[in-house]
Amino acid sequence: MYNCAKCPGYCCSYELIPLTKRDVERLAAHFGIGFRQARKKFTVARDGETYAMRRKQDEIFGMVCRFFDTEKRRCTIYAARPSTCRTYPGGRCGYYDFLCSERNRQDDPEFVATTWSR
């Protein structure tokens, strides 16, 4: 089974993190702002999705979720995280399996793979 605490946040680097209207409402409540303000501040329309999470720069993955702490490699809004994050991975995490395999292969418990083809 995967252990998110040992992962550098692969899933937070997804190019598209879709949000539902309920996710935006949850973010608005978390930050004590209105829905429209939360939509404007935290979302962007991408790839046909009405709401998608804005992203920010990250030295390891290039771009990550705007709420990802790039130093601690953790979510800063865990209690208010989007539904897609709440249900991920739904079983085994392929990224975590890959990370464990590479750490064993490299004999380096701190190894982080930062390049791969998409």
* DSSP 8-state class, residue 89: S
Is the separation of the CB atoms in 21 and 10 below 8 Å?
A: no
Whether 115 shows a pLDDT value over 70: the answer reads: no
Structure tokens at 4: 């998110």
Radius of gyration in angstroms for the set of CA atoms belonging to the chain, rounded to a whole number = 15
Question: pTM, whole model, 2 decimals?
Answer: 0.76
Q: What is the pLDDT of residues 40-76, one digit of tens each?
A: 999 998 877 788 999 999 988 899 999 999 998 889 9
Residue 95 vs residues 9, 90, 99, 103: alpha-carbon distances, Å = 9, 13, 6, 12
Distance between CA 71 and CA 43 in Å, rounded? 23
Whether 2 shows a pLDDT value over 90: the answer reads: no
Whether 114 shows a pLDDT value over 60: the answer reads: no
Q: Which residue has the higher pLDDT, 117 or 38?
A: 38
Distance between CA 10 and CA 112 in Å, rounded? 10
Predicted local distance difference test score (pLDDT) of residue 118: 35
